[in-house]
Amino acid sequence: MEKRGQFTSKFGFIMASIGSAIGLGNLWGFPYKAGMGGGFAFILVYLIFVGLVGFPIMLCEFAIGRKARVNQIDAYRKFDKRFTIAGVAGTIAAFFILAFYGVLGGWVVNYAVKYGINLFSSTNTIPQPQQYFNDFVSNGASALIFFIIFMVLTVFIVIGGVENGIEKASKIMMPILFLFLILIIVRSLTLPGASKGIEFLFKPDFSKLTPSTLGMALSQMFFSLSLGIGAMITYGSYLSNDDNIQSSAIIVPLLDTVAAILAGLAIFPAVFALGLEPTQGPSLMFITLPAIFNQMYMGNVFGFMFFVLILFAALSSSIALLEIASSFFMEHFKLKRKVIIPIIAAIITLWGTPVALSFGVLGDVKVLGMGFLDFYDFIGEYVLMTFGALAISILIGWVLKPKMVIDEMEQNGKFRFMGKKYFSFTIKFIAPILILAVMIMSITSMI
């Protein structure tokens, strides 16, 4: 059997975990949700959720992973057979999420390449962004080709293993991402009229904090921090026993949230300065932003930087997803990384093909009333990840008891952050109750 991978430094581990956390969720989900959901009021609630639920669950995932030192399915089984299902759910979630994430990643590759070419051509813009986008996504062949290119890039990194693939790539991509983000913020904030965007993002409106906004904030947080899917169990299992990882459970959620707010500062001041409507998701990324770059001095350079930044955010998340999807098969059946990674990636590509085609030939097909992208997102993000997060809080809070995590952390020094009582209370009561409340709310709103 191949030797188990291990991160070579704490910095590398943190970069990889942040890479998994920072992704499309931060860039095109958070800023818009914050803007529409009450500005600073939403951000405040989000931060409270991070402190009360995100941070304790992240600590649990790191502890489970490092203590078990195996993939998540075997890890759960080792601690309590009844919870094996949570590991299975996490692994299946990775298949669902990577299937649509990869398609979106493919779109990003297309735009990054387009802006890259534009750097050297006399036409430096995408003149009709709406038209360009519609033509691209509705053409099944091009959507599929770029999806495959993105998956090949992901395989290329993950096949290198934990140290030489995931860690190395994250150490390069993450600092560049932050650098580009800051350069773009400076540009965006100095446009005349930018202050309206800041108002959209931050102006507090507590009346917007309805149950559905709270639910949105909680699931946004799980997705953004990659919790409940076993990402941090998987990465935690590649940690050495010598590192004190308590600080990582603070740094990762913190930087993820900072990146989400910075993304808002990069995008919305420019959107408002140019008199465009705030949007989210694909239309924000692929239509509104190119429209901005069209009107901006050196728009092609900023466009290129922006799409490279998004590409890095997406890739550093997709490598985590592929590692999560593959680690059980690699370990349990003692298969070589070189063999299993391309196979799993190929399966996920097939699995994602309906998503890639759902903006063209499969446009009319609906599953449970949703298009393929929304359906995969619904199963992976809302159903399976929420279930995973609930399972962890029950396993640690009530079955193994918080002391297990505290003991694991105390191997490398005192348990510091917010104290043992805080951790025990949040993981036992706050996390499961909040998650259950949101689950009940969303089920009742669906009926």
| Nearest-angstrom CA–CA distance, 323 and 231 | 8
Question: Residue 435 interacts with ligand PHE (CB under 6 A)?
Answer: no
Query: How big is the chain, counted in residues?
Result: 447
Residue whose token pair is 């689950």: 439
Tokens read off for 294: 């069209």
Phi, psi of 370 (to 5 degrees): -115, 155
Give Cβ neighbours of residue 142 (< 8 Å, ≥ 6 apart).
110, 136
Q: Which is nearer to ligand PHE, 273 or 379 (CB)?
A: 379
Question: Residue 303 interacts with ligand PHE (CB under 6 A)?
Answer: no
Q: Which is nearer to ligand PHE, 104 or 431 (CB)?
A: 104
Question: Residue 90 interacts with ligand PHE (CB under 6 A)?
Answer: no
Least separation in angstroms between CB 223 and ligand PHE? 5
DSSP state of 177: H
Among 75, 229, 233, 439, indicate the residue that binds ligand PHE (CB under 6 A): 229
Burial annotation 342-367 (CB, 10 A radius, 16+ → b, else e): bebbeebbebbbbbbbbbbebeeeee
Among 7, 76, 133, 223, indicate the residue that binds ligand PHE (CB under 6 A): 223
Give helix 10-21 / helix 168-189 axis angle, nearest 10°.
60
Pick the piece of the chain touching ligand PHE (CB under 6 A) from 34-42, 70-78, 169-177, 314-322: 314-322
Least separation in angstroms between CB 151 and ligand PHE? 15
Which stretch of DSSP H or E encloses residue 123? none
Q: Which residues pair with 370 in a beta bridge?
A: 367
Question: Residue 154 interacts with ligand PHE (CB under 6 A)?
Answer: no
Q: Which residues pair with 367 in a beta bridge?
A: 370
Total residues contacting ligand PHE by CB under 6 A comes to 15
Question: Residue 26 interacts with ligand PHE (CB under 6 A)?
Answer: yes
Q: Which is nearer to ligand PHE, 20 or 72 (CB)?
A: 20
Question: Residue 231 interacts with ligand PHE (CB under 6 A)?
Answer: yes
Question: Residue 220 interacts with ligand PHE (CB under 6 A)?
Answer: no
Question: Residue 50 interacts with ligand PHE (CB under 6 A)?
Answer: no
Among 41, 89, 321, 340, indicate the residue that binds ligand PHE (CB under 6 A): 321
| Nearest-angstrom CA–CA distance, 72 and 332 | 11
Question: Residue 25 interacts with ligand PHE (CB under 6 A)?
Answer: yes
Question: Residue 224 interacts with ligand PHE (CB under 6 A)?
Answer: yes
Least separation in angstroms between CB 101 and ligand PHE? 7
Tokens read off for 217: 């904030």
Q: Which is nearer to ligand PHE, 35 or 402 (CB)?
A: 35
Q: Which is nearer to ligand PHE, 226 or 358 (CB)?
A: 226
Residues 423 and 405: beta-carbon distance below 8 Å: yes
Q: Is the dihedral of CA 262, 268, 271, 274 positive or negative?
A: negative
Burial annotation 32-48 (CB, 10 A radius, 16+ → b, else e): bbbbbbbbebbbebbbe
Q: Which residues pair with 153 in a beta bridge?
A: none
Q: Which is nearer to ligand PHE, 25 or 236 (CB)?
A: 25
- How many angstroms separate the Cα of 429 from the Cα of each of 92, 214, 435? 27, 18, 10
Residue facing ligand PHE at closest CB distance = 23
Residues 312 and 88: beta-carbon distance below 8 Å: no
In the window 362-421, what residues touch ligand PHE (CB under 6 A)?
Answer: none
Least separation in angstroms between CB 166 and ligand PHE? 12
DSSP state of 400: I
Q: Which is nearer to ligand PHE, 201 or 225 (CB)?
A: 225
Question: Residue 21 interacts with ligand PHE (CB under 6 A)?
Answer: yes
Q: Which is nearer to ligand PHE, 221 or 296 (CB)?
A: 221
The contact set with ligand PHE (CB under 6 A) reads 20-21, 23-26, 97, 223-224, 226, 229, 231, 317, 320-321
